[in-house]
Amino acid sequence: MFNTKKIFSLALSMSMLLGFTACGANNNDTATDSQPAQTESANTDNAENKSGETSDTPAENNTEDKKTSANTDDGKIHITYWYAWKDKIGESKEELVKQFNESQDEIVVEAAYQGSYDELSSKTQAAKAANNAPEIFEVEIANMYTMAKGGMIENLDPFVDDEVDIEDFNEGLMHEAYIDDSLYGLPFYRSTPIMYKNVDMLKEAGLDPEGPKDWKEFKEYAKALRDKDNDKYAMTFNLDPWFLEAWVYSSDGFYAKDGEIGFDQEGTKEPARFLQELADDDLIKVVLGEQAGDTQRQDFVNQNSALYFTSTAGLSSLLPLAEENGFELDTSFVPGNKHYAVPTGGCNIVMTSGLDKEKQEAAFKFIKFMTATEQNVFASEYTGYLPTRYSSVETDKIQELHKEIPQYRTAFDQLEHAQARPIAKGWPEMEKMLYEGVTNTTTQGADVDQIYDNLQNQAQSILSF
């Protein structure tokens, strides 16, 4: 049991910071997305969020790509696609590549798994520097700005044709697709955090199984579900900033938006105050470090906690686990403060900059296929990721899925309240500092105003727009 009255050393805090990854960044519950939750994270629990930074210097598009020889002896154009996450997520991507290769005889796509979003980002940057980058890869949405500004990825506007209905992509998922009003990627495997509920535990505590809708109700549920004899809590809480973003936005706060930095805003600080209050009253179990997502997930599966914030991508794996462990699982929106709000997570699919014309055309043909309605329906059904297109939701398959398993519908409906993630160079570094700050306020009782004022000062020197 974690009690916030116990004081942690600064060294421990820093070691946990180094182990942090996000789903804002990388959240999958199903994969090595166990990092999803890297929970959608692999941990599909640690958040769909973090990627490394790229250089400010645009890529040298005139430098010869070692892979530019588009055609091989078979007379076909060969291109490479790098992706993140294994298990059902990886299986679905490999299947889609197989379908593409079988659908035509001009292009051959070779798919290669590269680890988490962080690992994929690092490997792609290294390959780009060596003029040996894949033609197509995935970018975790929080890193789109850096990739575009650094010249790593191609502006897709010149390639959009009548076969691509941009307005068919859900508006809530397009915030991070555009950088400076230019299209740099298309929504691919996308998610939001949602609230998973153990319906049986809620009923046993005499609570409405619909779950808490706002902070006031969340605290009431936390009090009712706290079982000190059996060391049970309403929620095991992972301080991943991706989850925290939902509460910041629902308090009308922001971190970085429209060229402004908002750590000093009261709405940005309110969630830290609320978490500190819950932790001080021993109403939530706070978990930290590299295994935070795994611990959070296991507590929920083992029925030591009744509520669970993680990515919608975890649904396909959590439903059978709930059945195996004998409880009913349902899903709801993340409870809000002043109103509902949620960030999105996951990745966009992008084209590497500097390709020759033939490979560009082949790459965009592949991007169109991978994001088309039929393929999006397959991916959503198979993994639990969001249907990214309005037309996907209208298909018989998704309509039937939502009817049979309404838990899948929650994240899509919640997109109405989606807000853009921070779009600024330096955000991955700043997010690590935010994690350290929230760790200090939640577990050590540090002064919220002082911590967030310091974050404001740090952000002014780290972030750029």
DSSP line for 208-219? -TT---BHHHHH
C-alpha–C-alpha distance, residues 370 and 366, integer Å: 6
Of 309, 304, 306, nearest to 335 by C-alpha is 309
Tokens standing for 115?
Answer: 């680890």
Q: How close are the terminal C-alpha atoms of the chain, in Å? A: 42
C-alpha–C-alpha distance, residues 371 and 348, integer Å: 10
Give the list of residues 6+ apart from residue 313 with CB closer than 8 angstroms, or none: 27, 28, 29, 30, 31, 33, 36, 40, 41, 44, 48, 89, 189, 191, 346, 383, 384, 385
Positions of the chain with pLDDT lower than 70, given as ranges: 1-72
Distance of alpha carbon 40 from the chain centroid: 6
C-alpha–C-alpha distance, residues 278 and 284, integer Å: 6
Distance of alpha carbon 354 from the chain centroid: 28
Tokens standing for 265?
Answer: 């805003």
Q: Facing residues of 287 across strands?
A: 238
Q: Facing residues of 315 across strands?
A: none
3-state helix, strand, coil in the chain (%, to 5): 45, 20, 35
pLDDT, residue 370, reads 98
Tokens standing for 60?
Answer: 């040298």
Distance of alpha carbon 72 from the chain centroid: 37
CA 215, 20, 413, 300: dihedral to nearest 10 degrees?
Answer: -70
Burial class (CB in 10 A: 0-12, 13-18, 19+), 52: middle
C-alpha–C-alpha distance, residues 293 and 237, integer Å: 9
Give the list of residues 6+ apart from residue 379 with CB closer than 8 angstroms, or none: 92, 93, 96, 189, 385
Alpha helix ranges (H) inside 104-154 = 117-129, 144-149
pLDDT, residue 76, reads 95
C-alpha–C-alpha distance, residues 78 and 68, integer Å: 10
pLDDT, residue 70, reads 53
